[in-house]
Amino acid sequence: MRITSACARLALSLVVVGLTATGCGGDNAAAPGTSTVGSTNDINPRDPSELRDGGNLRLALTNFPETFNYLHVDGGTESVFSIVEATMPTAFVSDAAGQLSIDHDFFTDIKLTGTGPQQVEYTINPKAMWSDGSPITWEDLRSQANALSGKDNAFLVSGTGGFERVGKVERGADDRQAVVTFDRPYSEWQGLFNPLYPKSVTATPDTFTNAAKNGLPVSAGPFVVSSIDRSQNRIVLGRNPRWWGDTPKLDSVTFSVLDHSAWLPAIQNNELDIAYMSGIENVSAARNAANVVIRRTPEPTWSHITFNGAPGSLLADPQLRVAISKAIDRQGVVTASQHGVVDDPKPLNNHVFVAGQKGYQDNAAPIAYDPDEAARMLDALGWKLNGDVREKDGRKLELRDVMYQQDQWVQTAQIVQQNLAKVGVKLSIQTVPGTGLFTNVIDPGNFDLAQFSWNGSVLPLSGLRQIYYYDPADLQGNKARIGTPELNALIDRTLSELDPDKAIQLANECDRMIFEEGYSVPLHQAAGTYAARTDLANYGAFGLASRDYTKVGFLK
C-alpha cells in the first residue's frame, strides 16, 4: 500500500499507492530533483504562536484499516500508522536527518544500561496515561514484549521487531519503570515500543486480534479516535481530553478513504489539505490549483516486484526467479516512471538501505538486465519455447501480476509484460482495490508477482527479520515465502552485531544473498512530492522526520 510519508516510523510498513513520476522543485515549479534521502525536509516550519487555534486537517487514506492494531499482521500499513502516529505512545522520534531522540511526552529517560547481557531501562513519564484514565506502566511494555516475542504463533504479528531477542521485562524502581533484558544482543533496540499499545490489546491472542479490530477504545496521544463511519469511509480524530503534553493547535484530523484517482480533484476542490502526488501530470495540475504549494523531500519508500516462491508454486525455483528478474529492464521502468522529475533516475539496488542512507551500496549484479542470459537460463531450466510461451512438463510459464488499481502501477506492469514476452514468459495484469489487497490477495499468496512498496525506516536492519527471514510457521512480512536457513543465520548475526559499521557490512552480505535468491526486483525509491494548502504549517514532506501533531495547524 502507499504508506505515505510516515518514513520516521521505526519499522517497515506496506505501501499501496505507486511511487512513479514524482517531482517538483522547492520554487513550486515542476523541475527535476533527486530521490536520494537527505537531512532536510519541507514542512513549512512555523512557531505554534503563528498558528490559529482550531481547525480540521483533512487527509486521504488508500484503504480502510482492516484493524487498528498496527502490530497485527493485518495492521502494518500506512493507513493504520497514519492514525496511530497521532494517538499512541512512542519511545523515540526522528528528526529530518534521521537522528533519534526520546519522545519525552511518554518517557523521561531511556538508556542502555548494560551489554552483557544487553539491558535497557525505560522510565515512563509520570504524567503519561491511557485515554481511559489508567496510567501507562511497565506492565504495558511487558505485555507487548510477550505478544511480539514470536513464542506463541497465535499472536498474528506483522513482525517481531527485535522482541524475539528479549528475555524478560521486569518492574524497575516503580510501576513507571521497565527494565528490558535481552537473551541475545539487538543492534536496533531503539526501535522497540514504536508504537506502544496497552496491555488490554496485547494480553492474549484474542485481544491482540479483536480488541482494536474496529477502533482504538484505549489510546494515548494528543488525539483520540472520535468517530468511525464505514459507510462514508471516514475516520475522525479529536483532541484527547486527558492529554498532558502541549495542547494541539488543531481541533480534529479527518481521514477519508479515497481512490488515488480522486486525490488530485480533492486537492483542486479544497476537499483535502495535503495529498501525495504521483505523476508529473498530477504534480503540474496540483501546482496550478488555487492556494496549493508543492512540497518535496525524498523519503525511504521504495517500490518493487515481489515473487511468490512458496514451496510447490510455479516460482519456487530461485534460478527461475533470477532468470525472470534478469529479463526485466529495471532502468527502463525507472526512466519511464521518473524521467523529467528525478535527476538521472536510477533503480534502487539494495533491499535493506535506500540511496543516501549510510550503508547503501549496489548489490544488484545477480539480477542485472540481460535478456539473452535470461533466455539461456530458462532453456537450461527446461522451460522451452512452444510458440510464444515457454513450457515445462506440460505447464506454461504464465504468470499473474497483482497490484493496487492505479495507473502508475499498471504502466510499470505493462513494461514488465513486454520485457517478459521477449523471453517467452506470459504476464497477465490484475488490479485490486486498496482495501483487501493484502488481507485477501497478497497475504494468502494469491499471486505470482505482486507490485507494492515498503516504507523504509531510520532503523533499516529490522526489515531483515520482518521481511526476509523465512519461517513457514511465522511468515510475518515475508510475503514471498522465500528464504533459506543460511540467510536466516546471517540475519541473526547481523541483528546481534552492536558495532554499527560491522552490522552494515553484514546487512549488505544479507542483501547479496537476497538478490541471489531472486526474492524481489527493487524498482525505485520515492521522490516524496506532496500537494499542500499554502496555509498548512509544520506538515508536508517529512522525509526521515516524525510528525508532531501538537504543532500542526493553519496560519493565522
- 61-101 pLDDT, tens digit per residue, is 988 999 999 999 999 888 999 999 999 999 999 999 999 99
- What are the distances in angstroms from CA 495 to CA 220, 247, 275, 344, 416? 30, 39, 36, 34, 35
Quickly state the pLDDT bin for 337 (edges 50, 70, 90): confident
Enumerate the H helices of 153-218 as residue ranges: 199-202, 205-210
Q: Give per-residue pLDDT as tens, 426-454.
A: 999 999 988 888 889 999 999 999 999 99
Q: C-alpha grid cell for residue 35?
A: 530521490
Task: Provide the percentage of residues in the chain whose pLDDT is more than 90.
Answer: 83
CB-CB neighbours of 28 under 10 Å? 15
Q: How many CA atoms lie within 13 A of 150 on its CB side?
A: 19
Rounded Cα distance between 420 and 59, Å, is 38
What pLDDT score was predicted for residue 26? Answer: 35
As a whole number of Å, the CA-based R_g of the chain is: 23
| Pairwise pLDDT comparison (14 vs 241), residue with the higher score | 241
How high does pLDDT run on average in the chain? 92
Highest mean pLDDT among 63-67, 341-345, 371-375: 371-375
Tell whether the model's pLDDT for residue 388 goes beyond 60: yes
Tell whether the model's pLDDT for residue 184 goes beyond 80: yes
What pLDDT score was predicted for residue 320? Answer: 98
Q: What is the mean pLDDT of residues 114-138?
A: 97
* DSSP-assigned letter for residue 291: T
Q: Give per-residue pLDDT as tens, 488-514.
A: 999 999 999 999 999 999 999 999 999
CB-CB neighbours of 18 under 10 Å? 28
Contact 434, 262 (CB under 8 A): no
User: Looking up cell 484517482, which residue turns up?
Assistant: 261
Tell whether the model's pLDDT for residue 1 goes beyond 50: no
What is the number of helices (H) and of strands (E) in the chain?
13, 24
Tell whether the model's pLDDT for residue 20 goes beyond 60: no
Q: What is the mean pLDDT of residues 113-122?
A: 96
Which of 1-15, 186-200, 214-228, 470-484 has the weakest average pLDDT?
1-15
Amino acid (1-letter code) at residue 522: P
Q: Is 395 left (phi over 0), alpha (psi -120 to 50) or beta?
A: beta
Stretch (H or E) spanning 276: strand 274-276
What pLDDT score was predicted for residue 35? Answer: 81
Tell whether the model's pLDDT for residue 360 goes beyond 70: yes
* Strand order across the 166-171 sheet: 107-115, 118-124, 177-182, 166-171
Q: What is the mean pLDDT of residues 264-285?
A: 92
What pLDDT score was predicted for residue 10? Answer: 58
Q: What is the mean pLDDT of residues 115-140?
A: 97
- What are the distances in angstroms from CA 236 to CA 31, 60, 76? 36, 12, 20
Quickly state the pLDDT bin for 344 (edges 50, 70, 90): confident
Task: Provide the percentage of residues in the chain whose pLDDT is more than 70.
Answer: 94
Using alpha carbons only, give the angle 255, 52, 239 rounded to the nearest 5 degrees: 45
Write the DSSP assignment of 317-372 as a string of letters: -HHHHHHHHHTS-HHHHHHHHHTTTBSS------SS--TTSTT-----GGG---HH
User: Looking up cell 512555523, which residue turns up?
Assistant: 46
What pLDDT score was predicted for residue 32? Answer: 61
Rounded Cα distance between 448 and 430, Å, is 11
Tell whether the model's pLDDT for residue 340 goes beyond 90: no
Rounded Cα distance between 68 and 45, Å, is 30
Rounded Cα distance between 83 and 92, Å, is 17
| Pairwise pLDDT comparison (161 vs 196), residue with the higher score | 196
